[in-house]
Structure 1
């Protein structure tokens, strides 16, 4: 993103007012709060006395409670809506545009939030699905809009802000829940839920004043509007040479991409010259691997895990994990454009793998509480190791697989299939999110009997052996399937996929930047060679 577009250099969107470009591109990242806040809210809401009395069941021994099946459903059902929302982000993004698609998504989300204020179980669950549908649309359209509008030198930073806002949303939720949890009526859970209207209003209302993606406008043949949008992003007149050169560069790439006549989801998986199939599978599987790192186990069920490990102040430890996640995400988004996407993913996979295996080994050897005649004995040193390496694991995730996955997903697709490819990739994220969120209690918890009885695997801390093993898969997947795209415009990334191998992508990227290669010059050279 640094480097001007003069002469069709393919340097990405350059602007004389960097602050204005950052504001316009990063503002959409506020959409991450929609998901982060809900994730942080629902776990606290379902533990509130008034919510349990309204939606739960009563037993003389257990008092008011929510059955395990219903608990798994209400926590994970949001991901069902997000799955379908992400899939439908393609027609939404390509029919009405990235900008107005986000505005419409916020309206849908508001409908879902409103339904969750009702006191009927079916309406509450339905509201979770509808809100999830809106979140799914936002989760796909936000990185798409950011990737297409951000200056390339800081595109990783800007798109990574989406992950950062997710963590900030979770922290805000914790603060709100703590302030309303002791209210004796419905306002205890309705206030935290209603606050979500604010996030949707800020995102949807703010998007109205931002420019549409120039790449979308050129895709639709609306060149004059695209130049006007580029002018706003570049802080230059719409008829300036710099804007004209940037529009020409995007059109050159678009001409080649559309010649493949891509028109369906099936075409996303074709092994053509632009390697659409490889790109699509990379996006889909990368989002799945992100969920398989086990991060949502900590943020959905971490408090229970720490309690089972004998840690008395489990709630405080969970807050510490949230703080580590937020702080290290801030660090991570600044490293994306400095260290590189591929390298961060490799480092993160190794760091998470080592940390999780240490947690698992310590937990099954000396970390679990010991029952003795004089009570339960807890190994304090082992507890400290568990806490420390859980935080180190979160830190590695927050600086790598948290934000980088969204960045790579937003930039690897050619324009002609970007909306379809991203919708498939993000849908994969939410599908795995739902599966892991729903299955985790059955993997970790012990079997129970009675009215709330359910059979479970009782893995406890052993589940970290599974997450550590999946991080090994993350490493090898990155090495063979994820190219290095640091510092390249979206059109140059398209050229990299056409001309380079994945393993050799770093060398080709450096060559491309050193020699000023871009889609326009290469396409013109190939055309002239064919003519001669």
Structure 2
């Protein structure tokens, strides 16, 4: 279990009952986290596939003008994000009305259908397949972090939720290397052999099938059940996931916090329809601040320029002087390895020990600086002059900075917005708010991906300068407005966000009292005090009798 590594480092995990870190939780983690591979494979393979001679021949990219080629490549790559925006919106009602578990399963089926359609050598069918698969990707990008966060013990909630992102970058890396492998195929007529591009494209079906086979055997989230009036079944599922009896203090604390939040939500607005949810978001200061924070985190997440690198990494490496073809694909493969290794370190060690805030601030600063270097290098260097020889010295430094960018991305924006959105909202509005966040995420992704080939052709170095400035701006916003979520229960966020958002830096790190919902803490303390008083009275009576 990715979160299992954090057990050895997180102070909160060390005091938890050992029983809660069990094989049942591990199975749930693996089954649901396959959803991250949807995004990783579908994003990672298309950039390399677009450069394969067999793909270019099959989809008519060889004998067209540069403008038409840019448009077609942009449309093919961005169609995934267009579907993702639709899937993210549609995932909210399915999550709220048929449950988290069967929503994950249903959208997994949608993804597999879309992935299969992409294997057909027809331009229109390819676009339809990428859109349908994109719907599965977009829905899973919302549902998977939500499902993992709602089922996780709070001491390893960050690492469990971030396993979704680990699966993204791992699959992204594998896709890069598969592309590199098929690009090395060399035999007469390889440009007419559809098996070359289909081998790279078809690998994404594997995680989709695994998710659909495994998810039916995981339990529904207790928070969903309790929020929909099935408290008894919710308690049973907590006991099942934690492998503890219902009267255990750990189970009772978790159950009472969820019940208290549900009770508070129903006192404010009774019901679950989206008009009530909408009012709950925009008439509650605490809820609106959480919504605004999450939306801004997703916007700054996209403004780092990561989609341009993910989709068009081979072309960007060629832009700074790396020879196009297998050399740029090899450099891209190493880029994927750097992201994966850094994410493993983040998920296994940092997110539940150091937290979300500090790694994000450091990682985003590294990303911005890397983009600034690329902008200045391309502005003041003619990279075409040395294209006959090897990569110029400045280009090699540029490669290093892109790897530093990958390192910073994996420690920050790659994970933080997903984890924060999954853990910060109350149960009743969580699906709706996350759906809007991920819709924004995917619609901006679509715009950036669709425009990147044209932007690089028209703007050149200005693209990277724009990403650098926006990422630096994001660092300032994060410093002032993002509190640390590590160690807090999901239900304690209500109390935290009663404070003004711009003052969060003053209250970024929780005290022991702030890690639990206030009313539940007071109730538990009252019961403990009552037990102590009762014991004291018994001792007095015993002395008087003696």
TM class by shorter chain equals: 0.7 to 0.9
1:88-107 counterparts in 2 under 5 A? Answer: 88-107=90-109
Shift of 1:69: 1.1
Structure-2 residue corresponding to 1:110 = 112
1:250 to partner: Cα distance: 0.6
Unaligned runs of 5+ in 2: 5-11, 527-546
Residue pairs, 1:31-42, within 5 angstroms: 31-42=35-46
Equivalent residue, structure 2, for 1:190: 198
Residue pair 2:281, 2:429 contacting (<8 A) in 1 also: no
C-alpha deviation, 1:474, in angstroms = 0.9
Q: Which residue number corresponds to residue 213 of structure 2?
A: 205
**3-state secondary structure, aligned to 1:191:** helix
Aligned residue among 400, 410, 419 for 2:412: 400
The Cα RMSD (Å) is: 3.1
Alignment of 1:3-22 (within 5 A): 16-20=19-23, 21-22=25-26
Q: Which residue of 2 aligns with 1:309?
A: 320
Deviations, residues 306-342 of structure 1 (Å, cap 9, x unaligned): 2222223433322221111111111222211222212
Q: 1:159 aligns with which of 161, 172, 182?
A: 161
Q: Displacement of 1:236 after TM fit?
A: 1.5
CA deviations 1:56-92 (Å, max 9, x no partner) are: 1563x98x99722111101110111110100111101
User: Is 318-327 or 69-78 further displaced after alignment?
Assistant: 318-327
Query: What are the superposed Cα offsets for residues 278-324 of structure 1, whole Å, 9 maximum, x if unpaired?
Result: 21122222112101101122222222122222223433322221111
- State whether residues 268 and 421 of structure 1, in contact with CA within 8 Å, keep that contact through their aligned partners in structure 2: no
Residues 504/186 of structure 1: CA separation in 2 closer, same or farther (3 Å cut):
closer
In structure 2, the partner of 1:220 is 228
User: Structure 1's 232 and 468: CA in aligned 2 closer, same or farther, altered over 3 A?
Assistant: same
More moved, 86-95 vs 301-310: 301-310
Residue 56 and residue 376 in structure 1: after superposition, are their counterparts in 2 closer, same or farther (change >3 A)?
Answer: closer
Q: Deviations over 1:169-226 (max 9, x none)?
A: 1122233334445465333233333332221121122111111100001011112221
CA distance in 1, matches of 2:401, 2:240: 46
> Given that residues 56 and 62 in structure 2 are in contact (C-alpha distance below 8 angstroms), is that contact kept between their aligned partners in structure 1?
no
Q: Does structure 2 retain, via aligned residues, the 8 Å contact 1:348–1:401?
A: yes
SS in structure 2 at match of 1:114 = helix
The more displaced of 304-313 and 218-227 is 304-313
1:284 aligned onto 2:295: yes
Give the number of equivalent residue pairs: 502
Question: Normalization by structure 2: what TM-score?
Answer: 0.84
2:353 alignment partner, SS class: helix
Alignment partner, residue 456 of structure 2: 444
CA distance in 2: counterparts of 1:404 and 1:308, whole angstroms:
30
CA distance in 2, matches of 1:52, 1:236: 57
Instruction: List per-residue Cα deviations over 1:126-176 (Å, max 9, x = no partner).
Output: 111111111111110000001111111111111111111111111222333
Give the whole-Å Cα distance in 1 for the aligned partners of 2:350 and 2:85: 30
| 8 Å CA contact 2:492, 2:514 repeated in 1 | no
Aligned residue number for residue 448 of structure 1: none
Distance verdict in 2 for CA 1:202–1:357, change over 3 Å = same
Whether 1:296 and 2:307 are equivalent positions in the alignment is yes
Instruction: Check if 1:339 corresponds to 2:354.
Output: yes
**Aligned partners of 1:426, 1:194: CA distance in 2, in Å?**
26
Distance 1:517 1:168 in 2: 34
The change in CA–CA distance for 1:194 and 1:356 in structure 2 (over 3 A counts) is closer
Seen in structure 2, the aligned counterparts of structure 1 residues 377 and 198 have a Cα distance that, compared at 3 Å, is closer
Residue 381 of structure 1: how far off its partner (Å): 2.8
Q: What is the distance in 2 between the residues matched to 1:13 and 1:29?
A: 24
Query: What's the counterpart of residue 451 of structure 1?
Result: none
Q: d(CA) in 2 for partners of 1:515 and 1:102?
A: 32
Q: What is the aligned partner in structure 1 of residue 520 from structure 2?
A: 521
Q: 1:410 aligns with which of 418, 422, 439?
A: 422
Q: Could you say if the C-alpha distance between residues 135 and 248 of structure 1 is closer, same or farther in structure 2, counting changes exceeding 3 Å?
A: same
Match of 1:138 in 2: 140
Segment drifting more, 212-221 vs 472-481: 472-481
2:36 touches 2:168 (CA, 8 Å); kept in 1? yes
CA distance in 2 between partners of 1:464 and 1:195 (Å): 32
Match of 2:126 in 1: 124
Does the 8 Å contact 1:57/1:65 carry over to 2? no
Deviation (angstroms), 1:115: 1.9
1:48 equivalent among 47, 52, 58: 52
Unaligned runs of 5+ residues in structure 1 are 3-8, 446-456, 528-532
Alpha-carbon distance in structure 1 between the residues aligned to 2:393 and 2:181: 34
Structure 1: distance between partners of 2:266 and 2:15: 20
Return the alpha-carbon distance in structure 2 between the equivalents of residues 32 and 287 of structure 1: 17
SS of residue paired to 2:510: helix
Q: Secondary structure at the match of 2:503?
A: coil
Cα distance in 2 for residues equivalent to 1:14 and 1:137: 34
Residues 11-40 of structure 1, C-alpha deviations (whole Å, 9 max, x = no match): 999661414334423542221111101112
Q: What corresponds to 1:481 in structure 2?
A: 481
Which residue matches 2:535?
Answer: none
Moved more, 493-502 or 159-168: 493-502
In structure 1, the residue matched to 2:543 is: none
SS at match of 2:161: helix
Higher mean alpha-carbon deviation, 396-405 vs 48-57, is at: 48-57
